[in-house]
A and B are shown apart, each in its own frame.
Chain A
Amino acid sequence: MTRRGGLAPIAWLAVLLYALFLVYPLCRSLFLSFTDRNPLKADSTFVGLSNYLDMLDDPRLLATLRFTLLVVVAVTVVANVFGLAFALLLNRNTANYRVMRTLIFIPQVLSGVIVAFIWRSILTQNGLLNAALAQVDARPVAWLGSTDLATVSICAVVSWMTIAFATVVYSAALRTVPPELYEAARVDGAGALERFRAVTLPMIAPGMTINVVLCLITTFKLYDVIAVLTGGGPANTTQSTAYYLLEVAFTQNLFGYSSAIAMLLLALTAGIAYTVTFLLRKREARL
């Protein structure tokens, strides 16, 4: 008989905590989504799929889904394109470039709240950007106050944070490319663009998969940047689904309905993340 020596109790304590604070809440959310639970009412009843059917006639929910998908796609594309471009630009190993790579990551070290406050003081109506515009006698712009610009501003700020992350992951991936491969391609007469396509892209494909998937997952749960930057406004146009779900739960007290939205958000995040991982892994194998 092997001596367990007390490791199993620690391991199962961890599993127990995880079961209590992740697995159980997940199951509880699923269960609540089939009820009309409301903390202001004493009892709740089972309502079948009616919360899910309600989602179909909720124009605000549909608006949040459209906004969320727009931000997720925009941020994923922008962050990966600029992150890779930055990583290529900074891909040298001298002191200068190490300092630059250190600086680029700082937006990721700051909390979303701080990042959003910095940007709010820049973009708000009497903020720094409009103060600078006034110096050259330009009219102030409602960067956060008009519906279209507010959406663009949110995308820009979240992209800014995400570019910082993407740049460092791509930089790390670029360092795994053996210099001999570039030499070989050069000898074969490949131009810069051809070397990028034939050597760099295949070698950094795993880094790209990580970047894209993490970018999708983090942007789907976007909350703090919106809360600080626009509070969901103007006219609820910058509410993400994750933001709306908490408003339905804690302001409107509709626990059942908010749980149904939570299940939709989970299905969307998991579905898209798994599909993209699968497609990118297949692409990795092909490259």
Chain B
Amino acid sequence: MIRRLHTGFAWLATLLFCLPIYLALVNAFKDQRQILANPAAPPAPFTLGNLTRALQRPDLLVQAGLINSVVVTAASVLILVPLSSALSFYISERTPRVKAALLAMFALGLMVPPQVVLLPIVGLLQTVGLQHTYTGLILANVGGGYLSFAVFVYVGFLRGVPREVIEAARVDGAGDLRVWWQVVFPMVRPATATVAIFLGLWVWNDFLNPLFILGPLKGQTITTGVYLSVGTYSTDYGQLFGIMFLAAIIPVVGYLVSQREFIHGLMSGASK
């Protein structure tokens, strides 16, 4: 009896907490009149009008934004993963003193608010002609605080990798590059999952870098695109929820599919 009561209360608290998500979800499938008459009612009658209207915008906000987000996110993560795991292996092989110095330098990136370095990054990209380009945005992602996060995950994980395995590969005559690629990289797969999932999510959801590096003239990512074009008609809730549904569907589905790795990543972080 107490157990049933506890479960009931837990569900009540959870659903109450998730109420805003429920509202955004059901109202994406209701027309404006239905939304204002009863925001919390389920979508009956059901309409896909908000989604089709969002996809038929002349500025192609959703389609262009999604493509840009996929390109920027995929490129950033695909460069960050090998770069950071190779760097971390290199760091973990150094003498304690060099290792401490490098880690101290990378710890900075975890702490620095992005606003603090944004202006000089924009200036630097302007100087080399990469401001307002996707290449510039991807480079800024790869070299910024994300790299620090990846390095700390990998270096932490490498502490648990037995030295003998690496030494054995060395004795067999493999160079560092081959040891890393053929021995270390497969062994740190759980760390790679954590790094790829979290960096993918953060780059996808990033606001400041795309907003200031791509600028208002260049095609935006979905996150900044929603911000720049939705603000003007905030009272058209049907349209607003339709666009947000399309913008949120990829990260939410990605999370639901990979939640085991998500939780695992958070757990290894929390128990360190």
Residues of A within 8 A of B (CB): 2-8, 10-11, 13-15, 17-26, 28-29, 32, 86, 89-90, 96-97, 100-107, 109-114, 117-122, 124, 126, 128, 131-132, 135, 160, 163, 168-169, 172-173, 175-176, 206-207, 210, 217, 220-221, 223-224, 227-228, 242, 245-246, 249-250, 255, 258-259, 262-263, 265-266, 269-270, 273
Contacts and interface: CB of A to CB of B under 8 A. Distances in A.
Contacts of A132: 39-40
B124 A7 contact: no
**B-side binding surface: helix, strand, loop or mixed?**
helix
A173 B87 contact: no
Nearest to A10: B86
Contacts of B252: 106, 109-110
B263 interface: yes
Which bracket fits the contact residues of B? Answer: 35 or more
Contacts of B11: 96, 100
Given A18-B143, A21-B140, A111-B223, A106 B18 contact: yes
Contacts, number: 271
B219 interface: no
B205 interface: yes
**A-side binding surface: helix, strand, loop or mixed?**
helix
21 contacts: A7-B89, A8-B90, A8-B176, A17-B147, A18-B105, A18-B109, A19-B143, A24-B120, A24-B124, A29-B116, A102-B256, A104-B17, A107-B20, A113-B224, A113-B227, A121-B241, A132-B40, A135-B38, A172-B266, A172-B267, A173-B271
Contacts of B157: none
A5 B170 CA distance: 11
A124 B233 CA distance: 13
Interface of B: 6-7, 9-11, 13-14, 17-18, 20-21, 23-24, 27, 35-40, 82-84, 86-87, 89-91, 102, 105-106, 108-121, 123-124, 139-140, 142-145, 147-148, 170, 174-180, 201, 204-208, 212, 223-224, 226-227, 230-231, 234-235, 237, 240-241, 244, 247-248, 251-252, 254-256, 259, 262-263, 266-267, 269-272
